[in-house]
Structure 1
Amino acid sequence: MIYSYDTSAFDWSVHRNTPIVVDLERVGRHQLLKSLPVGVDAENPPNMASSSLGRRLVACLLNVSEARRKDLVETVAQAALYNAEGARREGTTVLNIFNDHDYNRSVITIVASIDSIREVVLAACEKACGLIDMSAHVGVHPCMGAVDLIPIYPLGEEVPVEECAEEARAVAQGLTERVPGTAAFLFGWADSPLQRGLAQRRKEMGWFKRTTDLQAIQADLGPEPRTRYGLTGVGASPYVMNCNVTIDTRDIALGRSIAAAIRESTPGGLPGVQVLALPHEGAVEIACNVESVKGSPPTHVTAGEPWPCFSIEGQPYCHAPASLVTARVSELAGRQGVGTKGTALVGFTPHECRGLAELALSQEIPEFWKEQHRIRM
């Protein structure tokens, strides 16, 4: 078995009808918020360890530079699910669409078999490139492309990260061929042989500085990018969870100091955490990419909720739980007399993603996001 999950950390708690804000101090860990169709037994979800349905599944958390026109974003999601004739692509579901108005950025959680993910993602990217014009984009979040990010993560036992990397490279090549004027850079396992991380590649491309001189960019694939499409990052890695904690202040300097303190590269920081501080809805958001790290959970930061663990080709991986990220941000902000307003998961944990994908596919629900609420803690 190449890829196996410890399913003990998976939380199938169900809350119907309305989103719920969970008090971390009272509950102690986050709960999955969802509204499921009538007839779905959420108390007996598919067995993640043994279900043949999930063995070849992968996830793509497609980041597009549009959120204020939600109908447009849904059109992009539907392009992943239905072909040009309107026929449904079997074995594909969109679990969630996370829209952020201030950032003007959406994350579309697409799940399909590794054998079909290439065409599914390319169809969505083509649609996005036809609808989003980067020359007119306005938003707080850094971005460089109409399709800004295409990460592919393995979910199933029979999918090694290397196979995701092959598909990621094929997606990057296919995008630059199908949409002339698009360009891409590779990261993670797709960036062979260096396997440079996303943060490093973004720095090299000028992503954090919002570089507008496209002629200065040395893309890995494609010609000099056109202003309309910009530059797209494409890669593969073990699952990366997105966890954003909002602190109740407009002080961006404080936000940046907190971000620096919890960043993996800082002594005493959280392993696997890459982070930005951004102004957001009249406050400051500590926006974290929580990468899966190789090995057992580090002993110096494991107090509280256990770190979810899984293995890839016999090698153990784990990731910091969202509750730990929230607790650390709350502690640092509290020292300055600042509280937190909440934590948002952009999509799901890896355990939740696979479990919900199996549920959606077994129930033949391609547009599963319509059954979902935004997840908050």
Structure 2
Amino acid sequence: IDLRRHEGAHPRTGAADVVPVVPIRPQQEPAAREAALALGARIATELELPVFFYGRLTDDGREPRFFRRGGSAGLQARMDAGELVPDRGPTTLHPSAGGVLVGVRRPLIAFNVNLRTTDVEVAQEIARLVRESEGGYPGVRALGLRLPSAGMVQVSMNVTDWEAAALYEIVQRIAAEAEARGVEVAGSELVGLMPAGAAVEAAGSILKIAGFDPSRVLELRLLDDP
């Protein structure tokens, strides 16, 4: 990706944008922090890109959205004003690659729901209803975005605590709100990986299995056996 020619709807700080190191178990966090710090140093030294730390690598737990505000131009302006200083690397964004966010965080689910309409206000209204900051589901961050090439709009989400907010329930809410506005759900997208527990929970909800948990899934049961 060359930022000088690239166009896209999602907020970003650079071509790679965000590189999380994710401990699967709590006891793995010290190793994850060590790996993330080493990775940030290598990116800054070998690729000569500015690196900003986020999440559990910072004292205040700042998140990627803190850096993405205003896009690449806004990030550079904040750097020029002395508001932001990279944790590693140069103080100027690379012209084609931008900057990189490196952090440590818990597993999250990046999940998008596409709506069969070109009216972005529909997606924005629904995003406001489901995101935590406006009284929606805990740990859910959501934006309403245009998808011009597809002729649709999207509710783009990060579910940062899937145990507190069931993905299936969130998607059902989005579908219901879309239907109330005369809009169909065109499909959904999983970006990257999701925890097995979230998939199992969704399957249990769809099939309406009482007391369903990961230990009832054959492969997961075998993996858990000593």
**Same fold by TM-score greater than 0.5:** yes
Letter in 2 for 1:136: R
Report the secondary structure of 1:149's partner residue: strand
| Correspondent of 2:152 among 279, 283, 290 | 283
Q: Structure 2: how far apart are the matches of 1:262 and 1:272?
A: 10
Q: Say which structure, 1 or 2, has more relative contact order (CA 8 Å, 6+ apart).
A: 1
Alpha-carbon distance in 1 for matches of 2:190, 2:78: 35
Match of 1:349, as an amino acid? M
State the partner residue of 2:177. 332
Q: Distance in 1 between the 2:37 and 2:167 partners? A: 30
Once the two structures are TM-superposed, the CA of residue 158 in structure 1 deviates from its matched residue by 4.3
Partner Cα separation in structure 1 for residue 173 and residue 165 of structure 2: 11
Q: 1:147 aligns with which of 9, 13, 16?
A: 16
Instruction: Determine if the alignment matches structure 1 residue 163 to structure 2 residue 46.
Output: no
Q: 1:254 to 1:157 in 2, by over 3 A?
A: closer
Q: What's the secondary structure of 2:13's corresponding residue?
A: coil
**1:200 aligned residue (40, 54, 66):** 66
Per-residue Cα deviation, 1:91-128 (whole angstroms, up to 9, x for no partner)? xxxxxxxxxxxxxxxxxxxxxxxxxxxxxxxxxxxxxx
Unpaired runs of 5+ residues, structure 2, are 199-213
Q: How does 1:203-242 map to 2 (within 5 A)?
A: 203=69, 206-207=70-71, 210-211=72-73, 214=76, 216-217=78-79, 218=84, 219-223=86-90, 224-242=92-110
- The reply on whether 1:136 has 2:2 as its aligned counterpart is no
Q: How many angstroms does 1:329 deviate by?
A: 0.8
In structure 1, list runs of 5 or more residues that go unmatched: 1-131, 293-307, 309-317, 363-377
Q: What residue is the counterpart of 1:254 in the other structure?
A: 122
Matched residue, 2:41: 173
Change (3 A) 1:319 1:150: farther
Tell me the alpha carbon deviations over residues 332-372 of structure 1, each in whole angstroms, 9 at most, x when there is no partner: 2122111211222113322279x9xx99xx9xxxxxxxxxx
Q: State whether residues 67 and 75 of structure 2, in contact with CA within 8 Å, keep that contact through their aligned partners in structure 1.
A: no
Structure-1 separation of matches of 2:121 and 2:26: 43
Secondary structure of the residue aligned to 1:222 is coil
Q: Provide the secondary structure at the position in 1 that maps to 2:65.
A: helix
Kindly indicate whether the alpha-carbon contact (under 8 Å) linking 2:68 and 2:75 is maintained by their aligned counterparts in 1. no
User: In structure 2, what is the equivalent of residue 188 of structure 1?
Assistant: 55
* CA RMSD of superposed structures (Å): 2.6
Distance 2:54 2:181 in 1: 37
- Residue 106 of structure 2 is aligned to residue 244 of structure 1: no
In structure 2, what is the Cα distance between the partners aligned to 1:212 and 1:159? Answer: 35
Change (3 A) 1:216 1:198: closer
Give the direction of change, closer, same or farther, for the CA distance of 1:194–1:216 in structure 2 (3 Å limit). closer
What is the rounded CA distance, in whole Å, between the counterparts of 2:56 and 2:88 in structure 1?
A: 16
Percent identity between the two aligned chains: 29
Q: Number of matched residues? A: 194
Query: How far, CA to CA, are the matches of 1:215 and 1:198 in structure 2?
Result: 17
SS in 1 for 2:141: strand
DSSP-derived class of the 2:37 partner: helix
